[in-house]
Structure 1
Amino acid sequence: MTPTALNSGSHATVALIGRKRTAAEAAEGAPIKAGVRLAVVWMGLGLGLGLGLGFGGAAMAQTATGGAPASSASSSALASPPPASSSAPAPSPFWSPKGKLLLTGGVSSIDGAAGGGLTPWALTGSYATEGQIGTTAYYTRLPTQDYGLTGYGALVAFGERAELSIARQDFSAGGTGAALNLPGLHLKQTILGAKLRLGGDAILDADTWMPQLALGVEYKSVDAAGLNPTLSALGAKRHGVDVYLSATKLLLAQSTLVNLTLRASRANQNGLLGFGGTASHRYSLLPEVSVAYLINKNWAVGAEYRMKPDKLNPSVLGDALKEQDWKDVFVAWAPTKNFSLTAAYVDLGKVVPGVQPRRQRGVYGSIQLAY
């Protein structure tokens, strides 16, 4: 597929661009509106349950004991070393001043949720423990041979129960935009996220088989600028909702963290090329894997793999928009609990191979501030 062919498309593509929406197509928008409502309701639920479970749990613990106010079991176990006779894990060099292990809150992912650079974890961001509110903010840059991605955002964590996040992405199409007669093309996406811990405790359950579990939702909205008519012709929507379940296991004795995420998604290139397409509007269940090794309390190295749904392949453009999985290897440095740097070598596979057939690889850099 040549750039000219992709730009002009087939007669079917030209016929689709610019036509009026039919009643059937208008009806198709109903699920998207429902998804938007679901995302808003879920974020409200995450906030309410996070506050209720976090602060309410501490109050119930105080009432049950009949004594003076006390921190939750999680905070008490994390804030001070257990006595020699206790069955709790022995003190670790990774304890942070607030009680949580440095780097086990993860870093900010490209979608804004706490985790690795590409995938979310079941852990909440920041170093807040029960009864506390923590915040983080980040800035990320990923240039590849033909494209560039800039991201920034913030999150609020309600203890270790829930988090709300917002992220903004700006994707420069570079030479691909010029090949499509759209020089200077930028695809811009906003992502609203919520995550709620369902069970388990990555630290207190480190000596058991039980992982920490969390359910998350991400509402995504993309503005593709001059590419919007083409996405409409391909059947891709401008809004979409991803839902994921993450399980994170911390192996303290091995200084290793393992995460598995299952994501229900129909996002094309993470949503930058819309959601779904003429090939399929159904959701795909996709695994994402992260492994991190804590070298010491300040340094971690690891790798990630994220599968993609490939909803624009095939299309009226053939396999010109075929999507491939993402992967990376990374190193993270956290000199204090308030600051971290992450660098990674990222492979995005072929992005719009009908125009740019080579794989897109680059060095990812991210800075995060936490409180």
Structure 2
Amino acid sequence: MPYLKPYLIAGLQVSCMAYASAATAQSLPLPDKGRLLATGGVIQLEGAGGGGLTPWATITGYGSEDSYGVNAHITQVSTQDYRLQTAGVAVGIADKLEMSLSSQKFTGSLAPLDKLELQQDIVGIKLKVAGDLVTDQDNWQPQVAIGAMYKRNHAVKGLEALGITSVKQLGAVGDSGVDYYLSATKLILDQSLLINGTLRLSKANQMGLLGFGGDKRNHYQLLPEVSVGYLINRKLVAGLEYRSKPQNLAVDNEKAYYDAFLAWFPSKAVSLTLAYAHLGDITVFNPKNQRGWYLSLQIGN
């Protein structure tokens, strides 16, 4: 029955693939969740582990140096005139390496930008290079990490009547770019205090949602970011954040971001962050300081 031969071969291939997948699943250990509650931080607006506005030197998830952690998040920020939605996934490996993938969607609600829609995708990587958040309690050494975020902007929607379909038509030099950063995070358990400082090299306008570089300037700038958190108890953290911004575009008098946040960690499987954020001016078309609520849900291990 030679006509059965292709089907037999195909069946054998499928069986082998199924067996290999099962063997791989059995050999891959489950995450050990070996780190202390809240030490992975939450997920910030661009998908990296840390605070809400700025990345920290922490590695996302609760996997120890012999394991890994994976999580997913969804975040929404709503101001008077705009809404920003972010969703993504992140993985932390051996408490050393973090990789993330996220997508941002920014929409307007007030004329003339009530139909505006901007989107960008972000791929991130972070590597811990020194220190340990928990074990370095008897010295000054912070945990230190370096990271990068590649960002790719989609076409501008909602401004077709004005002939605008690209961020380049708003003055941006490019629609993609890379942010580089160095973060140092110190946890002082005796004082229930966490302090983070980040230095970011960036040309991104409004995190990249309005492109990269501009008609005013087109070079990398060194931008400081600061976070301070107080551990009210082992499940609740309150704090403040500040993030400086560039001013590359004539149409956007970009201002610093800052917020006050409260992060709740009921378990290692879920966290919820609530913040009140101040995002400054977004464009000259709606020239008012944008303020509003930030809500983020993270689930994982």
Q: What TM-score range do you get, normalising by the shorter chain?
A: 0.7 to 0.9
Number of matched residues? Answer: 264
Which of 39, 43, 55 is the aligned partner of 1:120? 55
Letter of the 1:326 counterpart: Y
- The structural deviation recorded for 1:173 is 2.1
Single out whichever of 231-240 and 356-365 deviates more from structure 2: 231-240
Which of 245, 248, 256 is the aligned partner of 2:185? 248
Which of 104, 116, 121 is the aligned partner of 2:39? 104
Structure 1 residues 279-332: Cα deviation after superposition (integer angstroms, max 9, x where no partner) = 1110000000001111111100001000001111xx3xxxx4110000000001
Identity %: 47
With normalisation by structure 2, the TM-score equals 0.85
Q: Which residue is equivalent to 2:218? A: 281
d(CA) in 1 for partners of 2:274 and 2:167?
35
Which of 324, 329, 333 is the aligned partner of 2:264? 333
**Aligned Cα RMSD in Å?**
1.4
- 2:98 counterpart of 1:168: no
d(CA) in 2 for partners of 1:242 and 1:264?
6
* Structure 1 residues 1-371: aligned runs within 5 Å: 98-175=33-110, 178-179=111-112, 184-226=115-157, 227-229=164-166, 231-232=168-169, 234-312=171-249, 315=250, 320-352=251-283, 354-371=284-301
With normalisation by structure 1, the TM-score equals 0.69
d(CA) in 2 for partners of 1:199 and 1:235?
36
Q: Which residue is equivalent to 2:25? A: none
* Preserved contact between residue 41 and residue 60 of structure 2 (Cα < 8 Å): yes
Single out whichever of 234-243 and 264-273 deviates more from structure 2: 234-243
- The structural deviation recorded for 1:232 is 3.5
d(CA) in 2 for partners of 1:247 and 1:274?
28
SS of alignment partner, residue 208 of structure 1: coil
d(CA) in 1 for partners of 2:166 and 2:39?
43
Letter of the 1:108 counterpart: I
* Preserved contact between residue 140 and residue 367 of structure 1 (Cα < 8 Å): yes
SS of alignment partner, residue 179 of structure 1: coil
Moved over 6 A (4+): none
Q: Unaligned regions of 5+ residues in structure 1, if any?
A: 1-96
* Preserved contact between residue 224 and residue 273 of structure 1 (Cα < 8 Å): no
SS of alignment partner, residue 231 of structure 1: helix
Letter of the 1:150 counterpart: Q
* Preserved contact between residue 237 and residue 263 of structure 2 (Cα < 8 Å): yes
- The structural deviation recorded for 1:230 is 5.7
Higher strand residue share: 2
- The structural deviation recorded for 1:109 is 0.4
